[in-house]
Amino acid sequence: MRCLRAIAPLSVVALGGALMLMQAAQAQEAPEPAVAQADPPAADAGEASPREEITIGLSSDVIEIATDFTGMDLTIFGSVNNPRADSIATGGYDVIVVLEGPPRPLIIREKKRVLGMWVNADSMSFDDVQRSYVLASTGALQDIATDELYRQLALGVDQRFFAPANPREASWRVEAFSAALKELKERDGLYHEGTGDVRFLSQSLFKASLAIPSNIPLGTHRARAFLFKNGMFLDEDSTGLYVTKDSFEQWLFRQSQQNGFLYGLVAVLIAMLTGWLGRLMFRRD
């Protein structure tokens, strides 16, 4: 599998990077790492202890999956920068890593019995539903932070809220369809919370294993890492990940969607050729 080969060099790169960062932290004059940050660094960062930050890295920002892909564990390495000795001693740091799939509109349909038959009787369209949401954490979510904090961060499967395409939909209907949608996504492994799938390898270096399902949507995903300490949110880092399927079958699928007329013409020519060859080979007349 290509993806597994990609992980091996990744670990080396990330470990090397983390070691450098750790050394920098010890030297107490850490340059600002090139990381997207929610808050500006504290003004008095010079003499006082620097902010605790989180960094994640991927060796490759593209995952190429094969057509017989059956799912895998995507390993993401990261580190806590400038950790405090007392927090390490008490095991105070918690990390949550999420891989968010590309948002897309979708329709969910509900079957009902009509004259004994099961018929699609009701449906709802949603805008921008994350097609996948795979989470890994150091422990149970309720042990890391409060629901209130998760709500503010929009973090966790429970905090996925879907916006109906029609804003005037009755709220009870939106709730019912949202719950069904979430259940389907969880059943397919597309929405998944892997409690305990983030492990600290050293005092500041951690490894997250994200359970990527076989039906992982293609497109641009976002890997996000959240750092908590004693129930408080400290920092976030994120990086993009592009999932692609580069195969003949995928190419055919793209042609069928983008060049429908040409695709149909080729389908017809193949059919005529097959029919003609069959006649040549068997000489029915």
Partner 1 sequence: MGIYLPVAEISVNLLVLLAMGGAVGFLSGLFGVGGGFLITPLLIFYNIPPAVAVATGANQVVASSFSSALSHFKRATIDVPLGLVLLAGGMAGSAIGVFIYGWLKARGQLDLAISLLYVVFLGVVGSLMLVESVQALWRKRAGRPPELRRGGQHNWIHKLPWKMRFRRSKLYVSILPVLGLGAAIGLLAGVMGVGGGFIMVPALIYLLKVPTNVVIGTSLFQITFVAIFTTIIQATTNQTVDIILGLLLMIGGVIGAQYGVKVGQRLQGEELRAMLAVLIIVVALRLAFNLFVTPDGIFTVID
Q: Which residues here bind partner 1, judged by CB under 8 A? A: 67-68, 104, 106-112, 116-120, 123, 131, 177, 180-181, 183-185, 187, 217, 249-250, 252-253, 256-257, 260-261, 263-268, 270-272, 274-279, 281-282, 284-285
213 Cβ contact partners less than 8 Å away, ≥ 6 residues apart: 71, 132, 134, 188, 189, 190, 192
Starting at the edge strand that comes first in sequence, how are the strands of the sheet with 72-81 ordered? 53-57, 72-81, 205-212, 198-200
**Closest CB to partner 1 among residues 192, 207:** 192
Query: What's the closest the beta carbon of residue 6 comes to partner 1, in angstroms?
Result: 22
Neighbour-count burial of 164, counting CB atoms closer than 10 A to its CB (0-12 exposed, 13-18 middle, 19+ buried): middle
Query: What's the closest the beta carbon of residue 51 comes to partner 1, in angstroms?
Result: 40
Query: What's the closest the beta carbon of residue 72 comes to partner 1, in angstroms?
Result: 17
**Closest CB to partner 1 among residues 12, 267:** 267
**Closest CB to partner 1 among residues 20, 272:** 272
**Closest CB to partner 1 among residues 168, 187:** 187
Query: What's the closest the beta carbon of residue 215 comes to partner 1, in angstroms?
Result: 9
**Nearest C-alpha neighbor of 100 from the set 232, 227, 216, 244:** 216
